[in-house]
Chains A and B, each alone.
Chain A
Amino acid sequence: MQLTVWTYEGPPHIGAMRVATGMEQLHYVLHAPQGDTYADLLFTMIERRNKRPPVTYTTFAARDLGKDTAELFMTAARNAYARFKPQAMIVGASCTGSLIQDDPGGLAKSLGFSIPVIPIDLPAYQRKENWGASETFYQLVRAIAGPKAPPPGTKRPDRPAGQRAKCNLLGPTALGFRHRDDVAEITRLLAQLGIDVNVVAPMGATPADLTRLGDADFNVVLYPEVASQVASWLQRIFHQPFTKTIPIGVSATREFVREVAGLAGVDPEPVLAVASTRLPWYSHSVDSTYLTNKRVFIFGDATHVIASARIASEELGFKVVGLGTYSREFGRDVREAAAKYGVEALITDDYLEVEAKVAELHPELVLGTQMERHIAKRLGVPCAVISAPVHVQDFPARYAPQMGFEGANVIFDTWVHPLMMGLEEHLLAMFKDDFEFKDGALPSHLGTGHAPASAPAVAEVAVALPQSAPVLDGAASEPAPTAPAPTGAVWAPEAEKELLKIPFFVRGKARRNTERFANENGVATITVETLYDAKAHFAR
């Protein structure tokens, strides 16, 4: 058993739902008890879709367990088939459904529908959402595109001269982080290169579209968590190569353009020559000087954290102080990425462990998921969201891709806005004695109008979190008493007074640094000297 408060990923059948809901003309019959229908609201409320997910739940109850739950499943499948008339159906069980061992695949087969019925067997007690999406997509493609496979040993015929290259875009799903806009952006980029998009899948594709996957010259893997298994299979069976670069960030997008141009046999240079993004210039502009070596902590799915670390480090001049993922399947890739920045990757799906790490590192910016947004809010650290799981507000009405050159522009804005701008930081320091900048007044960039907790309380919370075991109960709801430093260094009154002269928006950090310095050096009483010793110690 694993004790948890919040989870990064849902169970694997949610991954299957993300595939089914992204597609058209596909229906999912899920053997599941009442209550599992909550999943619908992820799509209708959080993603704000205007249709119900194409899922029929059997919603069996306790009284059905003694009777024939298999019959219940068959009735539900029959009704769904008659009502929705899908091109194909996937069938499976949720965690409870799998315990009653009714074999949805076998049952559905016995119904003799004239459409493909694909059993999706998801081990709910071992695997999670992204794995479920990947497996569902793979089983679907194998079942539907498989019959079109060329005989083993046949070579892929060369594309006739003069015919435009075409590729498939693989990986976008419902409830994905900016998938809709990424697909639009990458499609546009490919069009500039003279490359056509054959099929986008799973998002937007019908089962009939999947039969055409083999027609493309190559595949573009947008989200490896969902698509790499399918891409590898298509390479093996249809001899289609696939892209390795994820086009998030300016450099990666340039590399991606070269990679797809190579696969399509077109010249990338004209497109690269006219490609425009403001990120590099904004990064070079003088107001961005203050971004230099801002300490950033990054956590999310593997694809987005690896890309984000590169952008943060190479395109914004931040210092990556922590990097991690909940995508255990991609642990090796994230570890390799982390090594580039001289940090050790945090591979965990325990939100409390991430919280303890953030508290320990006290970064100046957190790039993360909805969970990190919470952590950052509690610790008073600015935060931007880079990965699922996300909040309803991360499905914006405006066009806001993460991929391609426009994606780079969006990323610059999204990450830099939570921080103070360079000029703003200078002015706040210069006018810190002005009555408008009194303690507790939030700087305008936080823009909330109401303080999350009071600023000093936030600082205390950070101190109260022990470095060792994560605590289940942080001190936000029940504030800690005036936080003693972990091993008990005490502030001398004049040092406390000196601390108050430091601008309030960096005071929390100064306090934490000083206490850490005192504890590490065995200082029992923090004096003015200790304060400045610590300042010197932590100076960059």
Chain B
Amino acid sequence: MTVHVSGCSSAAADQLVSREIRTESGQREVFCGLTGIVWLHRKIQDAFFLVVGSRTCAHLIQSAAGVMIFAEPRFGTAIMEEKDLAGLTDANDELDRVVTQLLARRPDIKLLFLVGSCPSEVIKLDLSRAALRLSQRFSPGVRILNYSGSGIETTFTQGEDACLASLVPELPVQADAKPSLLVVGSLADVVEDQFMRMFDALGVRNVAFFPPRKSTALPSVGPNTKILMAQPFLPDTVRALEERGAKRLAAPFPLGVEGTTGWLRAAADAFGVDPAQFDKVTAPNRARAERALAAFKNELGGRRIFFFPDSQLEIPLARFLSRELDMQLVEVATPYLHREQLAEELKLLPAGVAITEGQDVDDQLDRCRLARPDIVVCGLGLANPLEAEGITTKWSIELVFTPIQGYEQAADLAELFARPLVRRAKLVA
């Protein structure tokens, strides 16, 4: 377990506040990238995710889907057995057999992801070749792609990055020279629709969302495509899109009023929208969101919050809570810190805030207990034990599954943090 403290500055990010960042590598209490399947299979509605892994992977997905709310999920596991480890040729035959069996049973599948896991990566089962081989057999009806959601390579939300990056080569080439906007990262349908209306009102045309709801409606990409990141955990996807000629717009993430405004403004500026027009279009939404947020300022203002690393949403969330709700940031930990893509966010964080990249969970728990924050954001494994110690918690996974982006959700986001505090105050027994 190593800890070192380094200065953080990046030439690419202009005016980036130079700050100290603690880096930890010890036991991590974070889901692996396979968990992304739980929301991705609801987003891309004709896709199926087949984990090629162990019984542990199957058990993880089922436990992460928690109470098993989906009686008929569009994901499954090909559980490797002793004989699959013995010879890789056998494993490939077995995989072909399982995929054939699956597609025979599920003729509605248009896109099949073979998802690599820790064991399949360690034994070097080549899923990209398997995907190619199977694609040849099942095209054109079914497109078969692969990515890795293994815990040795990805953490929690990185699974979405790996999934989307694997889709990028499938995107058609943009045919015309008209500028287009590509919003990258899974958003709830309702949030997508709100943003679409907003772009429309601003006069920003040719807007597409990635991933799409249907795998048959993949957006096109080319040198005239501008990328607006909706989620902070997608560096590989963005890099792949940039290799296709697209340009990333520097922007904060659309959390809270300020973040949403900055995010929309980045698009508006890139598409030459008149600033006065921008203000006119966004002013009513901004005012409404601020009114809704005011109610939570009393509840949350001055409260001390501590983030365990989980979703990589921690930095934008901390920025929102500190700037719009006056919360005090005790420690903000994130599994990975993408200094360039988070540059706009880091500029807005208060100076001197304690940022941690990575985790050594026992040491971090010690710091947390010592600091006695008012509320802690953490994963499911830590929440109840902390509650038992009298520390109020918020499940970080809820922040991934709930629509929290945009003006209309700003107060909902604040409420997610207020509710545990309100609850603790209510309970007398």
Contacts and interface: CB of A to CB of B under 8 A. Distances in A.
Whether A and B are associated in the same complex: the answer reads: yes
Interface of A: 1-7, 9-11, 13-14, 33-42, 44-46, 48-52, 56-62, 64-65, 75-76, 79, 83, 94-96, 99-100, 123-126, 128, 370, 374, 377-378, 391-392, 469, 471-474, 476-478
A34 B159 CA distance: 13
Given A13-B56, A44-B382, 13 more contacts: A1-B91, A1-B94, A3-B77, A3-B78, A6-B68, A7-B62, A10-B56, A11-B54, A96-B54, A99-B122, A124-B54, A473-B106, A477-B70
A279 to B, nearest CB: 30
A83 B360 CA distance: 13
B19 interface: no
Nearest to A84: B362
26 contacts: A1-B97, A5-B76, A6-B62, A7-B59, A10-B56, A14-B56, A33-B32, A37-B27, A37-B381, A44-B381, A50-B384, A51-B385, A52-B382, A61-B153, A62-B121, A62-B153, A65-B152, A75-B1, A95-B55, A96-B54, A125-B54, A125-B81, A377-B71, A391-B68, A472-B105, A474-B72
A285 B361 CA distance: 57
A61 B28 CA distance: 10
Contacts of A471: 105
B1 A44 contact: no
Nearest to A61: B152
Contacts of B383: 44-45
B84 A1 contact: yes
Contacts of A62: 121, 150, 152-153
B82 interface: yes
B73 A38 contact: no
A9 B59 CA distance: 8
Contacts of B29: 37, 40
Contacts, number: 202
Contacts of A38: 31-32, 35, 60, 63-64, 381
Interface in B48-89: 52, 54-56, 58-60, 62-64, 66-68, 70-73, 75-82, 84-85
Contacts of B181: none
Contact of B384 (A33, A44, A56): A44
Contacts of B77: 3-5, 7
Nearest to B361: A37
A96 B55 contact: no
Nearest to A473: B106
A100 B121 CA distance: 11
B270 to A, nearest CB: 36
A7 B58 contact: yes
Contacts of A41: 63, 379-381
Contacts of A65: 122, 152
Contacts of A377: 71
Contacts of B85: 99, 125
Nearest to B95: A1
B139 interface: no
A49 B72 CA distance: 29
A60 B152 contact: yes
B62 A474 contact: no
